[in-house]
Structure 1
């Protein structure tokens, strides 16, 4: 559309809107901002922590207990539910607050034309029809059409993932790929070089940035694998507990001939024994500990369940720019007609040097190299502020020119001194049509025309070539060698830049004024090429290796070119050189079946659009994969939201990406993802250890009731319901929390992710909990019960069913279960490794829990008021000696079993 027609359609002019008209439009269009996804009220967020399947089961259990007359029991069960719900809310609220503070941004101000005058306004106040100025370093505040543009280049990586800035001009050209129109600038991008003036055509959610944000917010977040597994586990436990309760209820009535009300209370005790009331708080605390560990390693987890989900990850869909790479263009090679040079050091920090045959080269003593450095330094509008300690840099300009600035520093070239000798007196700005930039410098009576640009365009203007400081006519063989070098770099995914110059005598200022593109950029002398790339992050190599060892597939999904994507993927070991590269255009033409087939092999996606990233993640999920998607740009947000876990970059990431993600890397370090995967696997393993630990106490809790039942009441109940609850809610929970903090066992990252059909509660845990640990604890606790009765004269005297003697017997049974659990806490710390090799006292939290549970046992036994509630009485000195001996043989027996397992496993491998 012609500019005049556009301005007319927007009812504006090149001098912008009036304040009155702008106010009207602000009321119509609203603030120029990206609306965050509508947040639930804090009340609903709080209440959701009390309506999970396990929470509902506990509410119902509490009601049943109260209706049966066991008021204390019902209150205790409800108290557990309330404490867990409050704690879960508090943890997630803390994470949300941390995320909000991370995403808080300072206001962005823009130079806007209002009433014909330039004003500094908050970008939030922009409306369609506003006219504003742009210059290097500015963020583009809205989608806009350029009215004027001088040497403008815009970094659009937040939208496209493409590292190289797009050239912008007033004249329309479609460019390559989406968002490549030359006369449009987009919200969320940044001006790297040049200046311009633009008229706003879209603001807020109507911008391309906003449309992608809207697409992201429409995605419904699915339940995490852990949530699904906990729901499944709750159903399993509920069925088991209810089934056993009904069986015991019927048996008590028809076999023991108990009254219905007493049979109901008895059955309720069995249900309580088999429901792990401490499951929710322990899971929550275990996940919270994982969150805290990740926070210390620069990974902010917004949702507790995301920690464990990472442990199940089978595929990571990773952006390239800024995620696998540093998003810092770096010159790697210099090619001159006399030979090739390498450049050491990465990123925008002067920590390397130019080398020839691995030996440092002084550019001042090498004429051709010095000439190339002179062009690179002087034909340059970018400034770089480096910090050698933090290895970070702030650039004002384009990444390509920043790479040349650092190259000159590495070569020891004195740019400031040279500029004093050869000041710039004229510039012919870069434009996307001719793909060249020219600066003209004067030194005494000589003019130096310095040109840099794309080889395909610049070489045609070269008639001579410099070799060892001497210019000679360029030959076909020279051009063949130059093109061969360029193709070699392109095959490696490197971007080349060509340098040339012309030297003419200075006559007068009119001569300088008359130098234009047509007569300046001709009869040039070719000097050389530089080849540059966005280097991989230093830590990425080890991170990729660990992912492969853990059987986690990494798929690069980038908006960059095919050659660059494949080069980086091969270099960091992501894929082999035989990997298939699929472009966005090819992806559009692929059927779902073809895409699934392709995803099973080595594959890289290049030149993809936001909706295509979403399609890739979605397809992988339909294949049964647990997908983590990483990224930093707004173009990554839909895939981040769709993935099982989205991982956004905290430093370079956009607000939209952070909002869509489950986890934010506060240091943008890809290696933190690998650490998170390891932590997630540890969390899952610890949850299984916890289940093993709490279920092994179910047997000694249930066996006393079974003895009572099958003896038809001849054996009084060795354990009361409140004592069972003491184990489940008091003594069991504390060491279980210690198990939740156990470090990952060695080799956890050399195992494949758990199968999707694998479950927390599996046959191995059930067998081990009930038939091994549970059986031992049942025998020991039953012996403890009869130990007290034997002292009272049994079998010559009837078993005690009331009084202090009976209370001592039940207290001893409870205490024996607790001391068996002390041994179980030690045994559950490892699957096969010896506890002595791990370190008997290495987990301080477990020992703290053990000490606290012994103190709790003593408080309940020796406090008069609590004795009546829990049917307990003080134990004798010999009772405590018996109890202290219990854990020793149980730990040693388990050590023998683990030793036998390790030996058998070692033999089978050999």
Structure 2
């Protein structure tokens, strides 16, 4: 694919002229408004809307529907026209219900995905701000930083070690280094060779830069590709496959029973036509019509509940996996802490200075020995603060109602706010200092360096910030007593001790350094900072733990989930935070001077069994830790926010990206996004994941036990050599009315009392374990006993077969409704106050009972279903037959509860 020559071959000045753009100040707000109205939003052509027709057709592909269609054909074959049409009506009803639920769930998931808005950093009217990528227009000036997803096509106007991943467009996995040089060639240039351009959808791997937008939406290169894409069917999730397996298991069981019934009927002299009707009835009884519908709506409800708790789950398998998590590997800053970094301490020239105020509001005082000082009149403090603000990319903006917004890295923001408290404004300084070159901070180097031209004095100056150990090695001088002196080894050790002291108080410690007159204007920045830097001082930045974090860590621990802290901070800082929030660790197992990369996989696996704190962690270390944990059969949830975290997020069983500070690359590599960046949200997501799985298991338990009772009811009546107690239409009615509505209502069941007190479940376990199979089988048999007794007693009393069948039909319906209370609580009786917390269930039970009354007292339904109105004394059979199974099952539950206690 080729890019038009007019873009990459033009100079920056020509681009500015053609787009009426400005490489320094960006567009005006009026220009943006006009262009947005004229050209529309910056978004790709929407994917084809969810097709209701395609979803409807898909409903007929399941084995459940195929069996029903076979039953309808069999009914027509034996001359039961009404039954055949009734089965077709049920098929249509089931398909429509599945269509409605699946369509709603699809729309719900679409809405959830759209709730995470991508943002871009732009310069408009000379000011930096974050906006939705949809509001970008041609001519906009966009700022790029490491980890950003590029929001539009554009011509670069500034680069600093900028490297971009364009593999999604070119197929080449190697990073592409970018520059601003004009490409002057006669032949057309491929995308991969457009080094002075960036393209929508690619990702910034390293460095930073600025570009002028030249194409948005469908006019962008990726937009052209998207027009050629065709919709593909979504692969079934593991849960959907397990549900299908469950349905197949039940159907195979039914076919076996049907075959046995047919053989028994043949040898007992039953007419062939009657046995065909019976077999058809058994086949219909086996079909769990509500199973796929209930599963779909349960997942949709659960995902909606999660997003209300600020957790956006991107795919359904993650919902299952959440309930199995055994380890949380979490960042410290912004997840365990408030992510409102505040510079509170300055250690400079053997002095200890405290700064009051918290958060991003630039209000506070500088105090030394409890006395207020003026930092503007203190050369050492002023130089340190100026270094901090110039050696950062964060921007502090005042919003309405005295609110302040920080755009950029929170740690850099703390430096900017502290300088603002002293009266230094970044905008004012940048009018005097012109940035010439920089080395952006990254997790490997652990420092950032910037080269400025002092326009006022015509000097070149370097400013450096980073990890104290790294910065100290670059310095051979120190600012002391308002002059520059040699930095002795003894003084270095004193500074290292002060660094450890601050870290033990839970401060994130940065060192700042400077270089002035001796800067070589023609020299490379890397060589200039290798030595001869002037050490200025240490700053202690505090990010306090979140208020709810201690409780969340405790809840996770009780749920059998271990919390491991991974931080780029020093070990002393990490230990201080861990002690405050309750993360248990073995101090003897902490890695001191040994890097994670120096350990073998086996050694790291052993260390992870007892160690829960890892400091100075790099993105590569995170990947090693996830790999080691998975080798130990742990189910790992890993948090991340940077572009380099993507491999670890993908490797983890559940990748969790930060929704606020996370890069787009991290979000796309993850399974779940925390919309508020809080650790407590992960814990809540696990809780919701467990609830979802519990509710799925409950309605499967309910549906299969009820369907099995119908099969056994018919089977036992044949054994007793009495007329078949239910006709096919009555079974269809029971399956649709008493099956679907209560099962759907169970999707709204409230959590079990001990949902976060149990150990994580094994993700390899089937939905219906052997224990549940035994329980379902025994309960299915007990449920069938009640209606059978009522039916046999009514026949024994000489009651007409139509009336006896109606008694059996009504008794079975009532037993099914009561079965709800046997399955809705795993640990306890279903007749508790929690039922009032699920009004949908109460409504479903009331509706089902009302429909049963209509079925036996309405002339039209009497004719279709073969029912008759029951007299008062006949209701006695129904009540007795319904209560017997309930009493047996509940009595057994009480006995089991007492045994457990």
TM-score between the two structures when normalised by the length of structure 2 = 0.71
Distance 1:199 1:711 in 2: 82
2:534 counterpart of 1:528: no
Whether 2:268 is the aligned partner of 1:270: answer no
**8 A contact 1:221–1:641 mirrored in 2:** no
2:388·2:416 contact (CA, 8 Å) conserved in 1? yes
Kindly provide the CA deviation profile for residues 757-786 of structure 1, in whole angstroms up to 9, marking residues without a partner as x: 422223333333332x44443332233224
The one of 273, 278, 300 aligned to 1:261: 273
Conserved? CA contact 1:229–1:759, under 8 Å: yes
Q: How does 1:409-558 map to 2 (within 5 A)?
A: 413-415=422-424, 431-432=438-439, 435=449, 453=465, 466=480, 477-486=490-499, 494-498=508-512, 528-532=537-541, 539-552=548-561
Q: Distance in 2 between matches of 1:389 and 1:424?
A: 28
CA distance in 1, matches of 2:95, 2:310: 31
Which structure 2 residues correspond to residues 117-516 of structure 1 after superposition, within 5 A?
Answer: 223-255=236-268, 257-303=269-315, 306-314=318-326, 329-331=341-343, 333-338=345-350, 340=352, 348-349=360-361, 362-364=372-374, 371=382, 375=386, 383-385=395-397, 393-395=405-407, 399-408=410-419, 413-415=422-424, 431-432=438-439, 435=449, 453=465, 466=480, 477-486=490-499, 494-498=508-512
Deviation at 1:854, TM superposition (A): 1.2
Is the CA contact 2:473–2:531 (under 8 Å) kept in the aligned structure 1?
Answer: no
Mapped to 2, the partners of 1:478 and 1:317 lie a distance apart of 38
Instruction: Give the C-alpha shift of residue 855 in structure 1.
Output: 0.4
Distance 1:184 1:574 in 2: 50
Residue 847 of structure 2 corresponds to residue 843 of structure 1: no
* Displacement of 1:291: 2.5
CA RMSD of aligned residues (A): 6.3
Structure 2 counterpart of 1:806: 801
- Residue 424 of structure 1 deviates from its aligned partner by 7.9
Q: Tell me the equivalent position of 2:899.
A: 904
CA displacement 1:144-168 (0-9 Å, x = unmatched): 998867xx69899999xxxxxxx99
Q: Is the 8 A contact 2:824 2:830 kept in 1?
A: yes
Question: Residue 746 of structure 1 aligns to a residue in which SS?
Answer: coil
> Of 46, 49, 61, which residue of structure 2 is paired with 1:51?
61
Change (3 A) 1:354 1:670: farther
Q: Is the 8 A contact 2:812 2:882 kept in 1?
A: no
* Maintained 8 Å contact 2:327/2:561: yes
User: Any idea what the Cα deviations from partners look like across 1:106-157, whole Å, max 9, x if unmatched?
Assistant: 899899xxxxxxxxx998979xxxxx977699996689998867xx698999
Cα contact 1:424–1:442 (8 A) shared by 2: no
| Cα offset, 1:481, TM superposition | 1.2
* Structure 2 counterpart of 1:507: none
- Assess if the C-alpha contact under 8 Å between 2:432 and 2:454 holds in 1: yes
Q: Distance in 2 between matches of 1:393 and 1:157?
A: 30
Would you say 1:830 and 2:825 are equivalent positions? yes
Q: Look up the SS of the partner of 2:405 in the other structure.
A: strand
> Which residue matches 1:731?
738
Residue in 1 that maps onto 2:749: 742
Aligned to 1:863: 858
Change (3 A) 1:369 1:227: farther
Aligned pairs, number:
814
Q: Aligned-pair distance for 1:494? A: 3.5
1:750 match: secondary structure = coil
CA distance in 2, matches of 1:360, 1:72: 90
Query: Residue by residue, what CA displacement relative to the aligned partner does 1:293-340 show, whole Å, maximum 9, x if unpaired?
Result: 223223344555653443234455667776666666543543234454
Contact 1:463 1:524 in 2 (8 A): yes
**Distance in 2 between residues matched to 1:240 and 1:733, nearest whole Å:** 21
User: In 2, distance between residues paired with 1:550 and 1:158?
Assistant: 42
When residues 460 and 582 of structure 1 are mapped into structure 2, their CA distance, relative to the original with a 3 A threshold, is: closer
Consecutive unaligned residues of structure 2, counting only runs of 5 or more, are 20-40, 125-133, 168-176, 182-194, 441-447
Equivalent-residue separation in structure 1 for 2:879 and 2:829 (angstroms): 22
SS of the residue corresponding to residue 806 of structure 2 reads helix
* Contact 2:717-2:788 within 8 A present in 1 as well: no
Contact in 2 for aligned 1:376/1:404 (Cα 8 Å): no
Match of 1:677 among 686, 702, 714: 686
1:872 equivalenced with 2:867 (yes/no): yes
Q: Is the contact made by 1:549 and 1:749 (CA closer than 8 Å) also made in structure 2? A: yes
Displacement after TM superposition at 1:266 (Å): 0.7
Equivalent of 1:754, from 757, 761, 768?
A: 761
Matches within 5 A, 1:583-602: 586=597
- Offset at residue 844 of structure 1 (A): 2.1
Check if 1:94 corresponds to 2:107. Answer: yes
By how many angstroms is 1:830 displaced?
A: 1.5
Residue in 1 that maps onto 2:706? 697
Structure 1 residue 460: Cα displacement: 7.6
Pick aligned residue for 1:79 from 66, 76, 92 = 92
1:556-606 deviation digits (Å, cap 9, x = unpaired):
789x6897997799576386663679999949x978x89988887758694
Q: Could you report, residue by residue, the CA deviation over 1:610-639 in whole angstroms, capped at 9, with x for unpaired residues?
A: 9x95x9878977876656555555656677
Q: What is the DSSP-based 3-state SS (H/G/I as helix, E as strand, rest coil) of the residue aligned with 1:252?
A: helix
Q: Is the 8 A contact 2:8 2:155 kept in 1?
A: no
Cα pair 1:58 1:81 within 8 Å, conserved: no
Work out the CA distance in 2 between the residues paired with 1:317 and 1:819: 49
- Equivalent-residue separation in structure 2 for 1:247 and 1:269 (angstroms): 14
CA distance in 1, matches of 2:219, 2:577: 35
Q: What SS class does the counterpart of residue 261 from structure 1 fall into?
A: helix
Give the match's secondary structure for 2:867. coil
* Structure 2: distance between partners of 1:263 and 1:821: 26
Aligned with 1:777: secondary structure?
helix
Task: State the shift of 1:529 in Å.
Answer: 1.4
Question: Does the 8 Å contact 1:147/1:199 carry over to 2?
Answer: no
Give the 3-state SS of the residue equivalent to 2:323 in structure 1: helix
Note closer, same or farther for the CA distance 1:261–1:341 as it changes in structure 2 (3 Å cut): farther
Q: Give the alignment of 1:634-673 within 5 angstroms.
A: 647-653=656-662, 663-673=672-682
Residue 144 of structure 2 contacts residue 210 of structure 2 at CA under 8 Å; is this kept in 1? no
Structure 1 window deviating more from structure 2 (425-434 vs 226-235): it is: 425-434
- Relative distance call for 1:289 and 1:374 in structure 2 (3 A) is closer
CA distance in 1 between counterparts of 2:379 and 2:424 reads: 16
Secondary structure of 1:702's aligned partner: helix
Q: Following the alignment from structure 1 to structure 2, what is the Cα–Cα distance between the partners of residues 45 and 628?
A: 33
**CA–CA separation in structure 2 for the residues paired with 1:147 and 1:476:** 45
Distance in 2 separating the partners of 1:546 and 1:134: 43
Once residues 400 and 535 of structure 1 are traced to their aligned partners in structure 2, the CA distance between those partners, rounded to angstroms, is 13
CA distance in 2, matches of 1:708, 1:231: 30
* Alpha-carbon offset, residue 726 of structure 1: 2.2
Alignment check: 8 A CA contact 1:300 1:663 kept: yes
1:764 aligns with one of 742, 753, 771 = 771
Tell me the distance in 1 between the aligned counterparts of 2:892 and 2:576.
Answer: 49
Secondary structure of the corresponding residue to residue 245 of structure 1: helix
1:155–1:191 Cα contact (<8 Å) kept = yes
State the alpha-carbon separation in 1 of the partners of residues 367 and 872 from structure 2: 81
* Change in 2 beyond 3 A, CA 1:135/1:237: closer
Separation in 1 of the partners of 2:363 and 2:540? 18
Task: Tell me what 1:164 maps to.
Answer: none
